[in-house]
Structure 1
Amino acid sequence: MEKHNHGQDVLDDIKPHTRSLRERIPDVYAGFAQMSKAAVAPGELDTKTKELIALAIGVSKQCDGCIASHARGVIRAGATPQEAAEAIGVAILMNGGPATVYGPRAMAAVEEFAEKA
């Protein structure tokens, strides 16, 4: 059975399109990057918790790019695959059937990035 990468392949697929759009609207992307950095910075919640929340929201919003980015983020922030699975479980609780499709994609991406870490 062929193994599909749900993390890096997604990021690689959107990279040239993102770069092209970023060149057209650099201020929008700069603002988004600043907001993103501030949103996941440690505060009362640590970065790992914030990345787990973002991963669950990515599942909820059915956003493969978000899932891939935050799957990488949870691993970089020190989350375990089990912690990610539990966050995905909450997304499934709150979103039902569609999350049972995107949840496994998220888990596959987390496992992919964990293997590379």
Structure 2
Amino acid sequence: MSQHWHEVQDELRDPVKELRAQIPETWHAYATLHRHALEAGHIDAKTKELIALAVAVTTQCDGCIASHARGAARQGATAEEVAEALGVVVLLTGGPGTVYGPRAYQAFLEFREDYRTAE
């Protein structure tokens, strides 16, 4: 299987470090928001990652897709759950969902392999 989505995360690593060094307080605040928004509460963490992945598709953000596809895999989402979440994206976005939805699905499948081999 292609490692495209790992490459997306890898290519962002250094630029993110550079920007984070320039705006550490802002980056820390965002990281705190990110952590709290995705932790389990009334909605479990897996569902939150599925929501985040769907939103990432609607914004057509490859870095976000990679991050939340990985998060969904880490939280134990199934391929069927990801597919259904992406079906909602297609409903709401039409054509763009038919392009970025499959990209997100492939990203999930790629990252899912990381967590299957770790088990």
Q: TM-score range with shorter-chain normalisation?
A: over 0.9
CA apart distance, 1:9: 1.0
Answer yes or no: is the 8 Å Cα contact 1:7–1:71 preserved in 2. Answer: no
In the alignment, is the contact (CA less than 8 A) between 2:2 and 2:110 conserved in 1?
A: no
1:12 pairs with one of 10, 13, 16: 10
TM-score, normalization by structure 2: 0.93
The gaps in structure 2 that reach 5 residues or longer are: none
Aligned residue for 1:7, secondary structure, equals helix
State the structure with bigger RCO (CA 8 A, min sep 6), 1 or 2.
1
4+ residue stretches of structure 1 with deviation over 4 A? none
The corresponding residue for 2:27 is 29
One-letter amino acid matched to 1:34: T
Higher helix proportion (structure 1 or 2) = 2
Q: CA separation of 1:53/1:6 partners in 2, compared to 1, >3 Å: closer, same or farther?
A: farther
Q: Which moved more, 1:66-75 or 1:78-87?
A: 78-87
AA of the residue aligned to 1:84: V
Please give the per-residue CA displacement for 1:64-113, whole angstroms capped at 9, x wherever unaligned: 00000000000111111111111111111111101111111101100001
Q: Find 2:66's aligned residue among 49, 65, 68.
A: 68
Q: Unmatched 5+ residue regions in structure 1?
A: none
The secondary structure found in structure 2 opposite 1:14 is helix
Match of 1:101 among 92, 99, 103: 99
Cα offset for 1:5? 2.9
Residue 6 of structure 1 contacts residue 68 of structure 1 at CA under 8 Å; is this kept in 2? no
Alignment length (residue pairs) = 115
- Matches of 2:3 and 2:93, distance apart in 1: 24
Residue identity in the other structure for 1:66: C
Q: 1:22, 1:104 → 2: CA distance?
A: 31
Following superposition, the deviation at residue 115 of structure 1 comes to: 1.3
| TM-score, normalising length: structure 1 | 0.94
For residues 37-84 of structure 1, give each alpha carbon's deviation from its aligned partner in whole angstroms, at most 9, with x where no partner exists. Answer: 000111110000000000000000000000000000001111111111
Structure 1 vs Structure 2 CA RMSD: 1.0
